[in-house]
Amino acid sequence: MDEQTFSCEDTATAVRVFGGNSAHLNMLEAEFGVTCRVWGPSVAISGAGDAVQKCMRILERLRQLSARGEGLQTQDVRLVMREFLSDPPEAGAGKAAPILTHTATRRAVVPRTLHQREYVAAMNASDLVFGIGPAGTGKSYLAMAVAAARLLDHRVQRVVLTRPAVEAGEKLGFLPGDLEQKVNPYLRPLYDALHEMVDPARARAMMSDGSIEVAPLAFMRGRTLKHSFVILDEAQNTTCEQMMMFLTRLGEGSTCVVNGDITQIDLPPGRTSGLVQALSVLQGVPGISVIHFNQADVLRHPLVQRIVAAYERHAALGRSPLEDRRN
């Protein structure tokens, strides 16, 4: 048995690091079989030597995150614990990831998983990045964070956000309202991410002066996007023609991020996804990075991670919903 003491600078820091009602310490006890005894801003951790050492390192990482202005939620603690539970340890375990930017409420935005770190590194190293994986893995959110940081630092002249406006065909004329009312429902996720990174009033001003542009993919035809950070979301629902059109819009000084989930293609039967084709055609082309996310990167409610894993197991069995109903 071993025992070590971890101390925070003050009680407020201890509450953030240890969790309300010592919730984070309870997670450490359940995972590592240690015992935590709290007094004031300190905690004594007793148990097997290796387990105690890991708990000390985890608490130090949580203190680092807290000092940088990051909110510590249950999911954050799980992610930090996972870094030290993996064998071998994940690359970068014990090191704080770089802050990309701050939200409008001054919360630090950082990549939290190994694949997220690779994704951010790819955006800094490549002109074209594909982010492939399920919903909730931070693809759009992190791309928006990098885009906002570059725009606010004047490293790009504008940010362009786009996605297929409808699942197949982009027949906007059949929808009620003016152009903005037609496309807003389909672009809402991009607006949500934008408004989290930039104060809504400032975002509206930037959209008015053209610094930020949100538009359906159909409107990209014929353009050349120079000195821009371009994000294509829901790319699995592009046709092959749309994808080629979009990728050839990239101009001087621009970075393009293409995000999608190839397990959620909503194109009509018989139509090949432009994202699937692009991943095949562009394999090995210099200047292009492809980052694959999985259910372990899901940062939404913990239940979402379990749901994604359940669907992945279901797909591996090769069964259809119709077969389930028959059974």
Q: How far is CA 59 from the centre of its chain?
A: 24
Q: Pairing mode, if any, of strands 101-102 and 108-109? A: antiparallel
Q: How confident is the model at residue 239 (pLDDT cuts 50, 70, 90)?
A: very high
Instruction: Establish whether the linkage from the previous residue to 88 is cis, with ω within 30° of 0.
Output: yes
The answer as to whether 161 is a domain residue is: yes
Among 49-63, 92-106, 230-244, 252-266, name the one with the lowest average pLDDT. 92-106
- How far is Cα 292 from Cα 21, in angstroms, rounded to an integer? 37
Taking only the tens place, the pLDDT of each residue in 164-222 is 865 444 454 555 555 556 666 767 777 788 888 888 888 889 989 999 998 888 888 88
Both 115 and 189 in a single domain? Answer: yes
With beta carbons less than 8 A apart as the criterion, state whether 16 and 65 touch: no
Rounded to the nearest 5°, which phi and psi values hold at 123?
A: -65, -30
Both 110 and 170 in a single domain? Answer: yes
Residue-level pLDDT at 77: 86
Q: At what angle do helices 23-32 and 11-18 cross, to 10 degrees?
A: 50
Would you say residue 231 has pLDDT above 90? yes
The answer as to whether 154 is a domain residue is: yes
Residue-level pLDDT at 96: 56
Would you say residue 140 has pLDDT above 80? yes
- Residue labelled with tokens 């090191």: 95
Would you say residue 319 has pLDDT above 60? no
Would you say residue 326 has pLDDT above 60? no
Q: How confident is the model at residue 68 (pLDDT cuts 50, 70, 90)?
A: confident
Q: How confident is the model at residue 321 (pLDDT cuts 50, 70, 90)?
A: very low
For residue 237, give both structure tokens. Answer: 């629902």
Would you say residue 323 has pLDDT above 80? no
Share of the chain above pLDDT 90, in %: 48
Both 41 and 116 in a single domain? Answer: no
For residue 77, give both structure tokens. Answer: 């603690």
Residue-level pLDDT at 325: 43
Check residues 168 and 1 and name the one with the higher pLDDT. Answer: 1
CA distances to 133, 191, 284 from 229, rounded to whole Å, are 21, 15, 23
Residue-level pLDDT at 94: 47
State pTM to two decimals: 0.74
Q: What is the mean pLDDT of residues 86-104?
A: 60
The answer as to whether 67 is a domain residue is: yes
- The enclosing domain of 27 has a CATH number of 3.30.1370.10
For residue 317, give both structure tokens. Answer: 């069995």
Strand ranges (E), 8-61? 35-39, 42-47
The answer as to whether 251 is a domain residue is: yes
- How far is Cα 251 from Cα 267, in angstroms, rounded to an integer? 28
Both 152 and 254 in a single domain? Answer: yes
- How far is Cα 159 from Cα 161, in angstroms, rounded to an integer? 7
- State the chain's mean pLDDT as an integer: 84
- How far is Cα 61 from Cα 42, in angstroms, rounded to an integer? 15
Would you say residue 262 has pLDDT above 50? yes
Q: How many independent structural domains does the chain possess? A: 2
Position 167, amino acid: E
Both 267 and 187 in a single domain? Answer: yes
Contacts 24+ apart (CB under 8 A), 260-264: 260/130, 260/131, 260/132, 260/233, 260/234, 260/235, 260/236, 261/132, 261/133, 261/134, 261/135, 261/236, 262/132, 262/236, 263/134, 263/311, 263/315, 264/134, 264/135, 264/236
Residue-level pLDDT at 13: 92
Q: What is the mean pLDDT of residues 58-65?
A: 90
Both 32 and 107 in a single domain? Answer: no
Of the three residues 60, 85, 110, the one that is the final residue of a domain is 85
Both 277 and 209 in a single domain? Answer: yes
Both 132 and 30 in a single domain? Answer: no
Among 70-74, 224-228, 307-311, 317-321, name the one with the lowest average pLDDT. 317-321
Both 81 and 105 in a single domain? Answer: no
Would you say residue 158 has pLDDT above 80? yes
**Where in the sequence is the domain holding 18, given as residue range(s)?**
2-85
Both 189 and 67 in a single domain? Answer: no
Check residues 188 and 255 and name the one with the higher pLDDT. Answer: 255
- How far is Cα 200 from Cα 194, in angstroms, rounded to an integer? 8
Residue-level pLDDT at 190: 77
- How far is Cα 251 from Cα 322, in angstroms, rounded to an integer? 46
